[in-house]
Amino acid sequence: MNNNFELKPIGKVIASNGNYSIQLKKEFISGLVGIEGFSHLQITWWGSLVDTPELRKILVSEKPYKKGPEKIGVFATRSPVRPNPLLITNISVLRIDYEKGILYTPWIDAENETPVLDIKPYHLSERVKDCRVPQWCDHWPKWDEESEAFDWQNEFNF
């Protein structure tokens, strides 16, 4: 079994002056056919800024959340610092330029020039009706639309 994988970016995040978009490479623009009508998309991206051998080894962090446990494993966090910094973000679609292959969004939690690996439509059937979370984070927003106004700075110790 081959344990090596080759990932090929399909585009990149453009983040500048509070404006956010995803620019597809020319050869992937035709993949946007039929995407109209989806208000939200799931963007898979590579955490290129935290992709170092040292950071990939961090499996347990000391109190990253103010109200969280004293120690927490990477798989219990949404941290970009991971053994493989493969990250997923749901975005809201403002508009799409189909000719240039640009998806405009009000925000994405990725930095400028971040490699985008995949795009999938977000479906209502993906919601989980009876989702549970630990008590230390059960006060976080229940919906994406509420996240923008939430005081996230008061949640983290970094």
Q: Whole-prediction pTM value?
A: 0.92
Stretches where the chain sits below pLDDT 50 are: none
pLDDT in tens, 58-73: 999 999 999 999 999 9
Show the domains of the chain with their CATH numbers: 11-123 (2.40.30.70)
Spatial separation of the C-alpha atoms in residues 129 and 69, rounded to whole Å: 26
Q: What is the pLDDT of residues 5-25, one digit of tens each?
A: 899 999 999 999 999 999 999
pLDDT of residue 1: 76
* Predicted pLDDT at 54: 95
Is 93:105 a contact under the CB 8 Å cutoff? yes
pLDDT of residue 93: 98
